Amino acid sequence: MIELLDAGLIRYRLVGRHRRILAASLFEYRRTQQGGARGADDDLAALSEDFGVY
């Protein structure tokens, strides 16, 4: 989690030495991650159809 925060993938703010993450930031990150997975699923299905496996 800390790596995601430090990489800037999830927005947060520092309160002293503690990181505060908004729920909206987590939902935004999850939505971007799921979007990439859906695209990969579509690509895999297309390849399967091309090779006659599906």
What is the residue whose two structure tokens read 């995601």?
Answer: 4
Report the alpha-carbon angle 18-9-28, nearest 5: 100
Percent of the chain with pLDDT over 70: 83
DSSP the chain: -HHHHHTTSS-EEEETTEEEE-HHHHHHHHHHHHHHHHHHHHHHHHHHHHTT--
pLDDT at 12: 94
Residue 54 pLDDT > 60: no
For the chain, the domain total comes to 1
Domain span holding position 40: 2-50
Query: pTM for this one?
Result: 0.57
For the segment 4-30, what is each residue's pLDDT rounded down to a tens digit? 999 998 999 999 999 999 999 989 988
